[in-house]
Structures are given as structure tokens and as C-alpha cells.
Homo-oligomer: A and B are copies of this chain.
Amino acid sequence: MVNYPNMKKKWQSSYLPNNENKHYTAHRGMSLEEDISLSNEYYLTHDIAVIYKKPTPVQIVKVDYPKREAAKIVEAYYKTPSTTDYNGLYRGKYVDFEAKETKIKNFPFANISKHQIDHLQKIIDHGGIAFVIIAFTSINEVYLIDASYIINDYYHSQRKSMTYEKIKSLGRLIPQGFQPRLHYLKVVDDLYFKEDE
């Protein structure tokens, strides 16, 4: 592959080195999804919680069965998820959430589907814990916000997004560290289990 000097320069200027700490994933090359997966593995192996990401829904159209080999899917399409990406069990409670990254300093509602909004409302109605994790990648801050605020603004706000300031005031900053990478259950403790302690 030809190494185009211009493209390299462009890539460098936008990601390195002046603002290397501004990007959430810049120094680690990891996504929010990977960080949450690492945290969930930590919670699972330390017997803290049982929370998984659901597999990506795929419509399988055609499968080949080669001799002596594993079945090979040769035609399939991504399906729109009807629920959120994550759910599980923590301290005897059902927990359900969606996680989104945004490069800009607000959270556009176009990032979340009506299906997911309505699913989160159902979780609240049936006595579960429902929230959204939002990573602002340009400033390396990740917030947990109760789903009710997102649902309310999704349906009633004049804006098509929720501002960073509003998320900061209604949500909680998730502590970042080594293990767990994103300690979002610390925030869940504070928001949903405070009266128990």
C-alpha cells in the first residue's frame, strides 16, 4: 500500500501530539464498548455483577456447510436492535443500559433509536434500573445518566440533543482507572442504592 504523506500528516495533525489527551481513546486505541466489556469482565470475575453486552443482531440468510469444517455464514445482514446493548444483574436488581460515544459537546438524540427509548421506559415501569452511559470523546469524560432524563428530553425537548452541561448536572461522572477501567457500578451504587447503606 502506498504511504501518502499528505494523509499521514492530516491524521497526525488531528490526533497527535498537541491534543493527545483530549481524545478518550487516543492513548489506548480503545472504544467505549471495549472499556465497558473490560469492566464487565472485571465485575464478573470478582463476583460483583453479571452484566453482558448482547450479541449484535444479525439476519442470517445463507449458510454453507463445508465438509469437516464449521458452518460458514455466507450471507447475512445487520438488524436494527429493538433493545439496548447491555443488561444484567447487580445486587439483586435488573440493570439495563445503552452506551454511546459522542465527539461533540452534546448528545444528539439521533444517536439513540425510538425502540431503545421505549425499551428503557419499560424497564423503569417494571422496576428495573435503566440508564445511559455517554462518553464525550473530545474531553475524555464519561457520564452515567438515569434513563428518565433522556426519555423526557427525547419526547419533550425543543432541542434535538441534550447539552453537555445538562448531562453533567443531571448525571454523574464515571471514575476511570485501571481495574475496573470504567467503574460505572460505583455510580449505580450512589444513584440507586444509597438508601440501603
Partner-B contacts on A (CB < 8 A): 44, 47, 49-50, 52, 54-58, 60, 70-79, 82-83, 87-94, 96, 119, 122-123, 125-128
Contacts and interface: CB of A to CB of B under 8 A. Distances in A.
A196 B78 CA distance: 43
B89 A78 contact: no
A70 B78 CA distance: 8
A89 B58 contact: no
Contacts of A82: 52
A56 B54 contact: no
Nearest to A78: B71
Contact of A56 (B55, B78, B90, B96): B55
Contacts of A89: 94, 96, 123, 126-128
A126 B55 CA distance: 22
Contacts of A60: 56, 58
A96 to B, nearest CB: 7
Given A55-B55, A57-B55, A78 B73 contact: yes
A40 to B, nearest CB: 12
A31 to B, nearest CB: 16
B50 A119 contact: yes
A93 B94 contact: yes
13 contacts: A52-B83, A58-B58, A58-B60, A72-B77, A74-B74, A89-B94, A89-B96, A89-B126, A89-B128, A92-B126, A92-B128, A94-B94, A94-B128
Given A56-B58, A70-B77, 16 more contacts: A44-B122, A47-B122, A50-B123, A50-B128, A54-B54, A55-B57, A56-B60, A71-B78, A72-B77, A73-B78, A88-B94, A89-B126, A89-B127, A91-B126, A92-B126, A93-B127
Given A89-B96, A91-B127, A122 B50 contact: yes
A72 to B, nearest CB: 6
